[in-house]
């Protein structure tokens, strides 16, 4: 039976390979009626040499419509993802989804059987994006989810400090693959450039972990950071010194692949610099 990553038409990308073209849904969302053109009254200036005040006349003038600002909504509570986007010139709104991740995965396993790590990341990213998209119109919603694949097993956030210690004891001196699913939903009106598209893909990056001592592991876990992030480590935080090398996109390890998101937005006809130009501070 086909995996969910195939049925939704997404593309999974390896860290060292070119990003595959993601699937785009052509089912449009309902759109509002076209907005009316505004008009305004202007006064004619006095003619030179009249010596008297001129009379004013009213004329209908069609205003020039500026490109509509593009609202990008991040369906994630991750401060690292928001910081990453902001550093790249995009300041998203944040709306956290209320998705029950365990229920989503249980339903998928009932239908498809055991899931690959990249499918899990993509399914959860899609669930988050579509949950928020159902609440918000006139925006581009981005959902993400990351999981670490280690020795064929899939790991999210550790449930306890003891689990984080045990995981790091397995991870040290080895390598794992960090998969981040990305899903984009366009709820903008068609008269404002909206496509109604829903599409996604997964990016994967190999991470090599340093050979930590037990004391280093215990100190890192005591900081609390490993309990807050998928895979129990960060690249851009306290865990940075414990990552010896990566193969692939570093932003993907932080939680959002900027190159992949650029390609997905390109499928909607959006260029990265257009988002920066829409009143978004850099």
Q: How many residues does the chain have?
A: 282
Burial of 129 (0-12, 13-18, 19+ CB in 10 A): buried
Distance CA 251, CA 260 (A): 10
Look at the alpha carbons of 16, 26, 92, 223 in this order and tell me if their dihedral is positive or negative. Answer: negative
Candidates 145, 186, 189, 249; catalytic one: 145
Q: 184 has which bridge partners?
A: 142, 199
Q: How many other C-beta atoms can be found within 10 angstroms of the C-beta atom of residue 3?
A: 18
CA dist., res. 66 & res. 10, Å (int): 34
Q: Rounded to an integer, what distance in angstroms lies between the CA atom of residue 85 and that of residue 80?
A: 9
**Within the chain, how many helices (H) and strands (E) appear?**
9, 10
Residue 94 tokens read as 């944040």
- Name the strand (E) or helix (H) holding 186: strand 175-186
145 catalytic residue (yes or no):
yes
The CA distance from 126 to 101, in Å, is: 11
Tell which residue, 282, 275, 273, 267, has the closest CA to residue 68.
Answer: 275
Q: Supply the residues annotated as catalytic.
A: 145
């Amino acid at each position: 039976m086909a995996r969910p990553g195939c049925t939704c038409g997404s593309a999974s990308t390896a860290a060292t390979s070119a990003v595959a073209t993601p699937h785009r849904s052509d089912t449009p969302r309902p759109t509002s009626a076209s907005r009316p053109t505004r008009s305004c009254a202007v006064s004619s200036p006095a003619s030179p040499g009249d010596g008297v005040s001129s009379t004013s006349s009213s004329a209908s003038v069609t205003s020039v419509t500026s490109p509509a600002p593009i609202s990008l909504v991040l369906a994630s509570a991750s401060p690292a993802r928001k910081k990453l986007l902001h550093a790249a010139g995009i300041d998203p709104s944040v709306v956290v989804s209320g998705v029950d991740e365990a229920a989503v995965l249980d339903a998928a396993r009932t239908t498809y059987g055991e899931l690959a790590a990249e499918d899990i990341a993509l399914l959860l990213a899609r669930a988050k994006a579509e949950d928020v998209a159902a609440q918000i119109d006139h925006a581009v919603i981005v959902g993400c989810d990351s999981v670490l694949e280690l020795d064929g097993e899939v790991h999210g956030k550790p449930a306890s400090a003891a689990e984080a210690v045990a995981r790091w004891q397995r991870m040290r001196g080895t390598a794992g693959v960090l998969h981040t699913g990305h899903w984009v939903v366009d709820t903008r009106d068609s008269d404002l450039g909206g496509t109604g598209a829903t599409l996604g893909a997964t990016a994967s990056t190999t991470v090599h972990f340093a050979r930590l001592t037990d004391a280093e592991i215990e100190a890192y876990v005591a900081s609390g950071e490993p309990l807050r992030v998928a895979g129990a480590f960060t690249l851009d935080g306290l865990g940075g010194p414990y990552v010896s090398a990566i193969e692939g996109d570093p932003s993907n390890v932080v939680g959002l692949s900027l190159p992949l998101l650029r390609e997905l937005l390109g499928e909607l006809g959006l260029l990265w610099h257009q988002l920066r130009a829409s009143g978004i501070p850099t």
